[in-house]
Every structure is written in structure tokens, then in C-alpha cells.
Structure 1
Amino acid sequence: MQTADPERFFETDAEQEKRQRRAAKAGNKFGNPITLKSKILAAIPDPRHPSSALLVAESAGAVRLVNLNDPENTKTAYRGPTAPVCCVAVGGLNSGTLFAGSWDKNIWSWDLTSKTPGRKYVGHADFVKAVVCARVGGKDLLISGGADKKIIVWDTATGARLHTLQDGVVNMLSIQDLVVDHASSTESEVSLISASSDPHIRRWKVRLDGWEQVAETSPDAPGTDRPTILEHETTVYKLVLDLDSDEADLWTSSGDGMVKCLSRLKNFTCEDTFHHGDHVRSVAVTEQWVITAGRDEDIKFWDRTSGKLHCSLVGHYDEVTELVVLRGPSGSSERVCSVSIDGTVRTWPLARAGLEAAVKEQEKPPVQEEKKEAGGDDLLSAEEEAELAALMGDDE
């Protein structure tokens, strides 16, 4: 008989202790959890409802709409892949197309409103781990990065591959994240920033007729260039451009346990460092807070002005994969959502009073409840669970 029950496999003492700790923690209600039936690998705001809804990538091979104002209604799903979905983006004509990169090496698309399947983009030789949308010269582009160490630029309308970006100077490993730098883009050229399993951050200029990698001015040797931005020691997992700052500085999170602010005015050299500890999978920034999360399961709020840790909130019982700031109609930050391998979506306040109330709530003695298992309908076998763990821990 085949089984994915970890208790039926050989485990080290450390693995048993971790599993038992997570099982004891699984019943908590901190962050008002919305529980899905599979692991959540990525999330973005739903552009139609940016203050109240998320589009999440599930290991069960779907993108699911999660309405935070109606947590019982999680039935809206975009289906097609039979392998885990790793990343999501929205773009195309009138921002009406949903894109999803999958373990099956393909990028799937749907009409965001009708859920009608659209074009499938085939070309990567390994997992697709990052997708973003851009517009250049009046044409909609899809840009994807994969575990095959390639960044591919697609014509969204035709599915044609326009360019394949690869670093010819410093060996580039598996792509972890991509972000469009609108502050440096023009109508005819998009500025792209990439992160990968090596510690190097790369900038690119992409046009319809070609592309180039941007050399950075060396902070140590004025007048000379450095081929990449090198401020971390190992894998860079997440890139975030600060929407609440006129400088639009670049924030990064890494497997070295640190989150850094890279100053645009100083040629993307490090201006601030926050020591989260363990692998930091995601970072989010607001005018007041720097928020970090990752393998240690906690959500940490840092005072952006002083750099001091304000509080650490518990709730998730497995690795946190994404933080998403939800913004109101005026663009102001309203709350932050976290998603996790534990299959839950949790929401946290951004107001100082709300955070203090959350800390007090977590200091109360725990109430014993029957544990609810997440992941009952997960598509992953025991072997795929191990593969996912290896993928999430890819620091090579």
C-alpha cells in the first residue's frame, strides 16, 4: 500500500520533533486563517479587488481566488495544470489575463473574469518559478524565469518567444523571482530585475528588437563596473520595489537570513539590513513597517525608522512562502496577508494598536482544539513532497 503518512517513514529525532511541534500548533486561529486543501506556493492581490482578495498558487495544480471578506467561499479556481503551480501574475489587455507558471514547465493562462483557458506558453526545460507582465512599444509581454536558469520574453498575444536572457559573465542558477522596475522603464524599453539561487541580482533592459544586461557601477572602485548586484551571501528569494518611497528602493530577502534595502541613489548598494534569521522567503514594506517571513514560520514586524524589531507574530505551522500588502482605493496600506506551505492564508493588521492587540492575544494560554489537517486533497506523493522540500530549499 502506498502512503504519504510521514509516520510510516523513517524519521530522525529532529524530524519527529518538528512534525509534532507543527501538529500541536496547527489548530491555532491567529491571523484568522482561511484553510485551503493544498500547499500555497505564491500569492498576488486580485487587481479587481486589491484590498480584499488574493489569487494564490496551489500545489494541487490550480490558481484559487480567496476573498478575505467571504472566507467560506474559496470555490473559484482556475484549473488546467496537473502539477503544482509555482507563481502567478496578471496582465495582458486591460489587465484581464491570469498567468501561472507550473512544475510541468509550462505557463498557463485564463481570462480573469470568465476563467476561460487561454494560450499555453511552452519553452522552459524545468519548473517555471517566476512570471511578470510588461508592455513595450504598445505590445504586451510576458516574462518568465525557470529552474532551467533561463529568462524568456514572450509576445503575449501570439505566444512567440522573443528573447532568452542568460548571463554570459557570471553563471546564473535557477531563477527565484522577477520584478519590473517601472521607475527605470520607458515606453520602448522595460527594466527588469532578477533574483536566482546564486547570490547575484541582475538588471536587464528588454526591447522588442533585443536586450542587454545592465552593468552596475562598482561601489568599491569608482569608474569601474560590476556585472551584478552582489549584497547577499546565498540565494535571493524575493525582490520588492518600495511603492511608498519616491526613490523606489529595492528590498531583497535571502537564504542568508537577511533582508536588505538596496538604495537606488547609491547604485543599488546596501543601505539597511534586517536580520530575520533562517531562510527569509518574503519581505513586504509599508511607510511604517518592514515585514519579513520564511522558514521559521513567524511574521516579524520591524520599525522602518529605527530598524528595531517591533513584534513577532506566530500562527503558521510551516514555511511562509509569500507576504502580500493589501492596499485601499487611495493606494494606502491596509493589512498584510501571509500564505504558507501549511495551506492557510492569514491576515495581520498594520496599525500599531492592532499589532499590540494581536501580541496580547497570542500571549493568552492556548485553547485545546481538535487538530484539523490541511492538505487532504493535495496532489503530491511522498516522493513529490521530498522534491518540493528540495525545491523550496534550493540554495545552489
Structure 2
Amino acid sequence: MQSADPEHFFETDAAQEKRHRRAAKAGNKYGNPISLKSKILAAVPDPRSPSSALLVAESAGAVRLVKLNEPEDTKTAYRGPTAPVCSVAVGGPHAGTLFAGSWDKNVWSWDLASKAPGRKYVGHTDFVKAVVCATVGGKHILISGGADKKIMVWDISTGVRLHTLQDGAVNMLSIQDLVVDHASSTESEVSVISASSDPHIRRWKIRLDGWEQVVETSPDAPGTDRRTILEHETTVYKLVLDHDSDEVDLWTSSGDGTTKCLSRMRNFTCEDTFHHGDHVRAVAVTEKWVITAGRDEDIKFWDRTSGKLHCSLVGHYDEVTELVVLRGPGGSGDRVCSVSIDGTVRTWPLEKAGLDAALEEQEKPAGEDKKEVGGEDLLSAEEEAELAALMDE
């Protein structure tokens, strides 16, 4: 007889404690969770509804549409891979094509509107960890990064691989993230920044007829070359370009437990550091906040001006893998979404009053979890039964 129950196998005390803690935490409703049936490894806004919908990469081998205003409607999925999907992007003509990097070493594509499968981009020899889209010389291109330590550039329309980028001087490990630097790009040359499992951040210039790695004079040692940006101690998981800033600075999150702001005006040297603690898998920035999340499951909001921690919100019960800022019409209704290995999508306010209210709700003593308004319980019968079962355990 076979079993998948972890209690039927040997576990360390720490593993048992973690499992019990997560099980006890799993029923919380903080962040209005939308629950899916598999782990969520990445997410991007849906360009058709950028303020209210996400496209999420699932470990079950699909990209799923999640509508925040219709949380029960999670049936729309783009299928094909038989291995986990770990990266997702939208691009091509009229931003009408969905791309997904998979553990099966391929990049899959679909027509965003019809869900019809499109071209498959084959060439990596290990997991495809990152995908982004760009336009160079009037041609739509796809850029993918893999655990095989390679960055590949593809012609979207033909599927032809145009270039394979590698650092020949400083050993480059598994690619973790890619971002297009529009502020440094031109019509004939696109600038891309890459992060990898080594602490080095690299910059690249890509043209239709070739590519080059950006090498600049080191700001710390004038007269010497600087092939990479080295501000972290270990893996850099996420890169975000701050378009709310005139300088379009680069924000990073790392396994060394920090998020950093790298100043473009200072040749991408560190200007600010936020000590989240544990592996920081995701970072998002707004005019007011720096938001960090990762292995410790909490969502931390930092005051961007003072650098002080404003609040830390709980909700997820496993590692957070992505943060996505969604902009409402005219700036109203802005919010940030977090996705996690726990299989939930959660939404958090960005205005200070909303954050303070969420924090106050989470800090209520256990005996105040149940409140009455107008003589009616806020807990449904199903929630009452769930609470009673947890208390019995």
C-alpha cells in the first residue's frame, strides 16, 4: 500500500513543526485569497484587464487567468506543457501572444484571445526560468533565460534563434530573471539586464546582427573594467525597474535577505538597502512603498522615503514567489497582488489607511476573531465549523 501522507514517513522535528504551522495557518482569509489547485511560480498583469486580472504560471503545467473581481472564475487556462511552468510574459504584435517558460526546457506560446497553441521555442537544455519580450529593428523578439546558464534571443514570428548570450569571463550560473531596460534602449538596440544564481547582475545590448555584454569603468576603481554589477552576496532572484522614478533605478531582491536600490545615476551602485530577512524572492515599488516578500511568507511594506518598515502582513503559508502592482483607472484602486507556492493569489491595499486597517485586523487578540455587526455573525456556518475543528485539534 502506497501513501503520500507525510506522517507515514520519517520527518525531523523541524519539518513536523513547519508542516503543522502551515496547516494551522492555511485557513486564514487575509488578502482575500483566491485558491488554485497547484503552486504558483510567477505572474504578470493581463494586458486586456491590467487593473483587475493576472496571468499566473502553475506547477501543474499551465498558465491560468485569474480575475480578481470574479474570484470564482478560474477556468480559463492555457495548456500544453506536462511539466511546471515557471515564467510567463506577454508580447508580440499588439501584445497578443502569451509565452511561458517550462521545466521541460521549452518556451510555449498561445494566442492570448483564443487560447490556441502557437509556436514552441526549442533550444534550452535545462529549465527555462525567465522570459521577456521586446522590439528591435522593427522585429518582435523573445528573450529567454535558462538553468543552462544561457540567454537566448528568438524571432517571434519565425521561431529562429538569433543569438545565444553567455558571459565568457565571469562564470554565469542559472538565469533567474530578465528585464528590458527601455531607458537605455534604442530603435535598433535593446538593453536587457539579467540576474542569476551567482550574485552578479549583467547588462547586455542586443541588435538583430549581434550582441555584446556591457563593460564599463568601475566606479570604485577608476581605470578598471566592470563587467558585472556586484552588490549582493548570493543569488539575485528578481529585477524591477522603477518607472515611478525619473532615473528609472534598478531594484533587486536576493537570497542574502536584502532588497537593494541600485542608482542609475551612480552606475548602478547601491543607494538603499532594505533588510527583509531570509530569501527575498520578490520586490515591487510604488511612489510611496517598497514591498518585499519571500521565503518567510510575510508581505513587508517599507516607507520609501524614510526606509523604515511600515508594516508586515501575514496570510500566505508558504514561500511567496511574485509581487505584481496593479494600477486602477486614474490611480484609484491601486493594489498589489502576491502569489505563492501555497497556491493562493492574495490582494493588498496600497493606501496607508487600508494597510493600517489590514494590520489592525491581523493584530486582534484571538478572542476577538469573531465579531457581530447588527446582531449577525461575520462567520458563516462553514467558517464556524472550520474554526471549531481547528480548536478541537
| CA drift at 1:276 | 0.1
Give the letter aligned to residue 255 of structure 2: G
Deviation per residue, 1:53-89 (Å, 9 max, x gap): 0000000100000000000000000000011000000
1:304-319 correspondence to structure 2 within 5 Å: 304-319=304-319
User: Given that residues 200 and 229 in structure 1 are in contact (C-alpha distance below 8 angstroms), is that contact kept between their aligned partners in structure 2?
Assistant: yes
| CA drift at 1:227 | 1.0
Deviation per residue, 1:337-367 (Å, 9 max, x gap): 0000000000000000000000011012455
Give the letter aligned to residue 31 of structure 2: G
User: Given that residues 216 and 229 in structure 1 are in contact (C-alpha distance below 8 angstroms), is that contact kept between their aligned partners in structure 2?
Assistant: no
Mapped partners of 2:209, 2:222: distance in 1: 32
Equivalence for 1:24 = 24
Does 1:370 pair with 2:386? yes
Equivalence for 1:14 = 14
Root mean square deviation of aligned Cα? 1.2
Mapped partners of 1:307, 1:5: distance in 2: 44
Of structures 1 and 2, the larger Rg is shown by 2
Deviation per residue, 1:166-209 (Å, 9 max, x gap): 00010000000000000000000000000000000000000000
| CA drift at 1:216 | 3.0
Equivalence for 1:153 = 153
Deviation per residue, 1:110-150 (Å, 9 max, x gap): 00000000000000000000000000001000000000000
Equivalence for 2:111 = 111
Mapped partners of 1:10, 1:141: distance in 2: 49
Does 1:322 pair with 2:322? yes
User: Given that residues 325 and 333 in structure 1 are in contact (C-alpha distance below 8 angstroms), is that contact kept between their aligned partners in structure 2?
Assistant: no
1:27-46 correspondence to structure 2 within 5 Å: 27-46=27-46
SS state at 1:19 partner: helix
Structure 1 pair 255–369 and aligned structure 2 pair: CA distance change class (3 A) = farther
Equivalence for 1:257 = 257
| CA drift at 1:331 | 6.4
- Report how many aligned residue pairs link the two structures: 371
Equivalence for 1:200 = 200
Equivalence for 1:336 = 336
Does 1:179 pair with 2:179? yes
Give the letter aligned to residue 47 of structure 2: P
Does 1:272 pair with 2:288? no
SS state at 2:21 partner: helix
| CA drift at 1:6 | 1.9
Give the letter aligned to residue 89 of structure 2: A
Equivalence for 1:82 = 82
Structure 1 pair 369–86 and aligned structure 2 pair: CA distance change class (3 A) = farther
1:68-147 correspondence to structure 2 within 5 Å: 68-147=68-147
Tell which has more relative contact order, 1 or 2 (C-alpha 8 A, sep 6+): 1
Equivalence for 1:378 = none
| CA drift at 1:219 | 2.0
Mapped partners of 2:26, 2:231: distance in 1: 36
Equivalence for 2:391 = none
Mapped partners of 1:331, 1:145: distance in 2: 33
Give the letter aligned to residue 342 of structure 1: D
Mapped partners of 2:216, 2:357: distance in 1: 45
Equivalence for 1:385 = none
Mapped partners of 1:269, 1:6: distance in 2: 46
Question: What percentage of aligned pairs have identical amino acids?
Answer: 86
Mapped partners of 2:265, 2:271: distance in 1: 10
Deviation per residue, 1:300-344 (Å, 9 max, x gap): 000000000000000000000000000124467800000000000
Mapped partners of 1:280, 1:173: distance in 2: 18
Runs (4+) of structure 1 exceeding 6 A deviation are: none
Structure 1 pair 310–369 and aligned structure 2 pair: CA distance change class (3 A) = farther
Give the letter aligned to residue 45 of structure 1: P
User: Given that residues 281 and 293 in structure 1 are in contact (C-alpha distance below 8 angstroms), is that contact kept between their aligned partners in structure 2?
Assistant: yes
Equivalence for 1:353 = 353
Equivalence for 2:374 = none
Give the letter aligned to residue 251 of structure 1: W
| CA drift at 1:217 | 2.6
User: Given that residues 291 and 300 in structure 1 are in contact (C-alpha distance below 8 angstroms), is that contact kept between their aligned partners in structure 2?
Assistant: yes
Q: Could you tell me the TM-score, scaled by structure 1's length?
A: 0.92
Mapped partners of 1:130, 1:63: distance in 2: 14
Deviation per residue, 1:212-256 (Å, 9 max, x gap): 000133121123221100000000000000010110000000000
Structure 1 pair 333–32 and aligned structure 2 pair: CA distance change class (3 A) = closer
Mapped partners of 1:316, 1:72: distance in 2: 19
User: Given that residues 217 and 267 in structure 1 are in contact (C-alpha distance below 8 angstroms), is that contact kept between their aligned partners in structure 2?
Assistant: no
- Where does structure 1 lack aligned partners over 5 or more consecutive residues? 372-396
User: Given that residues 180 and 191 in structure 1 are in contact (C-alpha distance below 8 angstroms), is that contact kept between their aligned partners in structure 2?
Assistant: yes
Mapped partners of 1:339, 1:266: distance in 2: 33
- Where does structure 2 lack aligned partners over 5 or more consecutive residues? 370-383, 388-393
Mapped partners of 2:2, 2:191: distance in 1: 49
Equivalence for 2:373 = none
| CA drift at 1:370 | 2.6
Equivalence for 1:283 = 283
SS state at 2:88 partner: strand
Mapped partners of 1:164, 1:301: distance in 2: 38
